[in-house]
Structure 1
């Protein structure tokens, strides 16, 4: 595995929700309320500014961008230069909304904090919310502990979510109607590295089906046997990393986003 790492852009605040789309990496920058896009040469563009903090990103089959609006617990759509509300999640989400994954049908799976993390509240389980195109949102999984980074396997049959405060990756079968079934632990991260309590945040699938997990330090790659294939420790990068996205191109890229204000994307 190549170990070449370079800083792509700097001057960001708190980055989240990376997704590769049409040759660029799209991501949210919390505290500037911006959704940004950058190519592999570091050319960056502001796509849209949102009224509240943006987080998870995805795309509908019609090409419109879906954006999680954290603080007001809404799912937004951005198309033809206009923002519009897709769904109000405030009756289902028990605290700030966060990450999201969108399948090929346009079904959006949205997680939320479940409790006031910043006020020091005790950890509480929450739910995973499904927003189907043209339908009211519904809860498709309960008793999940801070559902965070989420991926869907290429065959669209399995959803895997990182439960930050359960220290595990949890898998579900995806039913034809988008609902979830057959919940199981995909990987118990505590069993992989003893003596450390991992808190999985960003996850992504690579071309070989392994899941990269940011916890936030160090990063690991988990294969189908749930064994660590690679470890990445970043003395040169230094600051905590919470989200990642792997790009399945001729030359593979693994993008790592930092969290400390005014830092960078590598």
Structure 2
């Protein structure tokens, strides 16, 4: 079993890891910051947005997009570091994002305010196309979380945390979604951030069960990485695509979120490289 190493520590609620170029970007929701870190642990803040959640993705042209949940906007970071509005999402409650190879962004939305204790309402997914238009393409999620697109660009996989499922859709030529199905029933697994690899397996991070798990379609467990704190999201990257990056922190529940300073970026080596998006 490969060793789990600490690349960076001392952060807050860490999420949305994305390998880009030769660095990992991730969000610290507690600080309202997007940070980039290289494999030598040199880090810098590359964007600041006061948003909870605070999730990101990289466009095919190399620009970063950021979901501003409270503002109901999808922001784009320009080469000079400024932030502009790419799309008006409307409302609040926006959560995770994935951008495919065509530049289409899928952004999901939680239907109720978890932290305020609101009654359950189903969540949804919106498609933001390259021209900035927005339309809803899926609904009826208990708690939509991490998303990934398979290497051939044909399938969107969504973590529905409260139903303990990974849900799949076919992606149409216009970016629309069809043929909804349960890709994997995870039993007691609670998927948060996810990524896919070159064998079309999915890695999912799990907060309550303090682990990161690789599963095949249908739910067979292929590998488990045990953690000493909640796993919020994971991404594959590194020079060969075989470094699994995990962002983790000590979870204290919806009222207190995470223990300050316990947010970490962890790494471990895997056999199958990452592929697809993110």
TM beyond 0.5: yes
Task: Provide the C-alpha distance between the structure 2 equivalents of 1:251 and 1:186, rounded to a whole number of angstroms.
Answer: 24
The match for 2:199 among 197, 202, 208 is: 208
Deviations 1:6-29 (A, max 9, x none): 111112111111111001111111
Distance 1:252 1:133 in 2: 30
Question: Structure 1: how far apart are the matches of 2:241 and 2:165?
Answer: 30
User: Is the contact between residue 54 and residue 67 of structure 1 (CA under 8 Å) also seen in structure 2?
Assistant: no
Unpaired segments ≥5 residues, structure 2: 250-257, 267-278
* 2: CA distance, partners of 1:251 / 1:201: 21
Partner of 1:185: 182
Aligned to 1:133: 130
Question: CA contact under 8 A between 1:57 and 1:65: conserved in structure 2?
Answer: yes
Matches within 5 A, 1:67-106: 67-80=66-79, 81-91=81-91, 95-106=92-103
Which position in structure 2 is the counterpart of 1:254?
Answer: 244
Give the paired residue count: 253
Deviation at 1:209, TM superposition (A): 2.1
RCO comparison, higher one (Cα < 8 Å, 6+): 2
Which residue pairs with 1:111 in the alignment? 108
- TM-superposed deviation, 1:104: 1.1
Matches of 1:52 and 1:226, distance apart in 2? 33
Aligned counterparts of 2:205 and 2:51: Cα–Cα separation in 1: 25
Query: How far has the Cα of 1:56 moved from its partner?
Result: 2.1
**Structure 1 unmatched runs, 5+:** 191-196
Out of 57-66 and 18-27, give the one that drifted further. 57-66
CA offset digits 1:151-204 (Å, max 9, x no partner): 0001000000001111100000000111111110100112xxxxxx33211111
2-side partners of 1:123 and 1:52: how far apart?
A: 22
When the two structures are superposed, what TM-score results if normalisation uses the length of structure 1?
Answer: 0.89
User: How do 1:17-96 residues align onto structure 2 when only pairs under 5 Å count?
Assistant: 17-53=16-52, 55-80=54-79, 81-91=81-91, 95-96=92-93
Deviation at 1:72, TM superposition (A): 1.8
- Matched residues in 2 for 1:228 and 1:47: separation? 36
CA distance in 1 between partners of 2:107 and 2:9 (Å): 28
SS in 2 for 1:61: coil
**TM-score, structure 2 as length reference:** 0.86
Matched, 1:172 2:169: yes
Q: Pairwise CA RMSD of aligned residues? A: 1.7
Indicate conservation of the 8 Å contact 1:29/1:54, yes or no. Answer: no
CA distance in structure 2 between the aligned counterparts of 1:33 and 1:44, rounded to whole angstroms = 15
